[in-house]
Amino acid sequence: MSVRVRFAPSPTGPLHMGGVRTALYNYLFAKANGGKFLLRIEDTDQTRFVDGAEDYIVEALNWCGLTIDEGDREGGEHGPYKQSLRSELYSKAVEDLLESGNAYRAFDTPEELAAMRADAESRKAVFQYDASTRGGCRNELSMSSEEVDEFIASGTPHVVRFKTPEAAEDVVFTDEIRGEVSISSAVVDDKVLMKMDGLPTYHLANVVDDHHMEISHVIRGEEWLPSAPLHILLYRAFGWDAPKFAHLPLILKPTGNGKLSKRDGDAGGFPVFPIEWNDPKSGATSSGYRENGYLPEAFINMLLMLGWNPGDEREKFTLEEAVECFSLDRIVKSGARFSPDKAKWFNELYLRDTPHDELASELSSMAAEKGIELSVKDALCIVGMMLERVSFLSEVFDANWLFETPCKDDFNLKMIKKKWKDETASYLEDLSVVLEGVADFKAEVIEAEFKAFLESRELGFGQVLLPFRIALTGAGGGPSMFEFAEYLGKEATLARLKSGVETALIIKAELSN
């Protein structure tokens, strides 16, 4: 059997990262098995349609590198790949089910249904439209055929419902992740398959499409597990073979309690969407991994590990590497806890793997956007100094002192209070004289001279190095100051040293007042 899988989002808003993970696992499973990965847009519910959502989905998958084999834009033999363009197939399927007695027309008005629900509630029960209640409702099964004909002739609005089995039975199927699943048909209600407006519901369209698109494996979120028995019954009613099913575990909040939601992202300051989303109705913007500076490889690797593992300690996988070892049986059953720190860690991994000259040109253009002049050559030096210290390239700009002499407000007061002693300024003034004499202003030479200076004065590293850093940068941490001095050049280093000492002295005086 050839493997054909689909990612079937509804264009009702931006794609949550859980949705991207579903797409990723589908993609990997297809590629690992020489199969096809389809994108099907499930847009039957016109009331929930959101402008721009489909474009967003396509752009997000594209950013992640999840190439679609068959879809609305890619084409394919099983199109169209958008449910709103497949109405005829659904009408035909409903006709077939009506004919075979597996579905029936129901004329109950929304008010009547609400009344039945309220009545059940008053008896502390829940109303379910099924074999036990359908006789008391207004439908083809409870009404005389004349009455039904009359209703149809007069155009009375109606839905078509699935006729679940009269006698409860266990619907058993094998989930590729969970093993054997058995759910009683008694919990399955006579679901509406076709709405009053003649449009199919999710269940009908989904099953009909998976069949006609020859989908071999349905890989989707755990939230669809309760729908699986209905889908199995539908396949049986149509006389079709059901595909294999795999229901993916939830992605949990960082605390581990409950499903990760957009609100968790807002509260925790991390994105839950792959790329930025601008809501067309509210105008609100939700942040995206892309805009937050994540590399797509890192985002994808992080998602891969949220619910799957290779069975050993490895954590770093490019998409190609993941294709090599991905299998459904290594997907976990329980929820996978999302960690924003781990997400950052993955980005660091990939950032440090990126060729420095690539990062340098990107940094240089990022600088230009901020109105900072930074040649690619200088950017390359900065990359060399800062790469080990940042999770995102953009974080380089937090170190303002890389680009301009720090002003008084930039100085770290706590550091000065703790580390700037009465003698400090004189040490740095003497150091400045030493540096002035360095002909070859290279990091190794500066470092050697610095050490010789300490030795000759019987000073410890701590007494001079940190003040040297504070004077040059205003900050208490950062890259090697010998490298930074080389980057600045002799003249700028000496100028910064001079102004830095002056500023530190002013601050010190203010602090002791």
Interacting residue ranges for ligand GLU, rule: CB under 6 A: 8-10, 42, 206, 220, 224
What's the CA dihedral at 360, 363, 369, 370 to 10 degrees?
-130
Cβ-contact 158, 151 below 8 angstroms? yes
Nearest distance in Å: CB 392, ligand GLU: 31
Q: Compare residues 64 and 415 and give the one whose CB is closer to ligand GLU.
A: 64
What are the structure tokens assigned to 337, written together? 């806890």
Which of 82, 195, 244, 262 is an active site residue?
A: 262
Helix H or strand E encompassing 2: none
Instruction: Classify 41 as helix, strand or coil.
Output: strand
176 CB burial (10 A radius; 0-12, 13-18, 19+): middle
What are 317's two structure tokens?
Answer: 């996988």
Quick check: 292 and 277 in contact, CB under 8 A?
Answer: no
First-residue to last-residue Cα distance in the chain: 82
- Tell me how far, at minimum, the Cβ of 175 lies from ligand GLU, in Å: 13
Residue 316 falls in the annotated catalytic set: no
Burial status of residue 142 (CB atoms within 10 A of its CB: 0-12, 13-18, 19 or more): middle
Residue 284: CA count within 13 A, CB half-sphere = 6
Closer to ligand GLU at the Cβ: 33 or 44? 44
In the bound state with ligand GLU, the residue whose beta carbon lies nearer, of 224 and 235, is 224
Measured between alpha carbons, how far is residue 21 from residues 7, 228, 251, 442 in Å? Answer: 10, 20, 9, 48
Q: What does R_g of the chain's alpha carbons equal in angstroms?
A: 32
Nearer Cβ to ligand GLU (148/208): 208
**Cβ-based nearer residue to ligand GLU, 10 or 139:** 10
Helices (H), 330-477: 340-353, 356-369, 376-386, 413-419, 424-436, 443-457, 461-473
Smallest separation, CB 215 to ligand GLU (Å): 10
Helix (H) or strand (E) holding 337: strand 336-337
Using CB positions, name the residue nearest to ligand GLU. 220
If one counts every other C-beta atom within 10 angstroms of the C-beta of residue 193, the result is 27
**What minimum distance in Å lies between the beta carbon of 226 and ligand GLU?**
12
Q: Which residue has the tokens 């297809």?
A: 30
Task: Output the smallest distance, CB 8 to ligand GLU, in A.
Answer: 4
CB of 330 to ligand GLU, least distance (A): 21
Please identify, using beta-carbon distances, which residue of 128 and 206 lies nearer to ligand GLU: 206
Nearer to ligand GLU, 85 or 413 (CB): 85
What lies within 8 Å, CB to CB, of 79 at 6+ separation is 70, 72
| Cβ at position 9, least distance to ligand GLU in Å | 5
Enzyme catalytic residues = 262
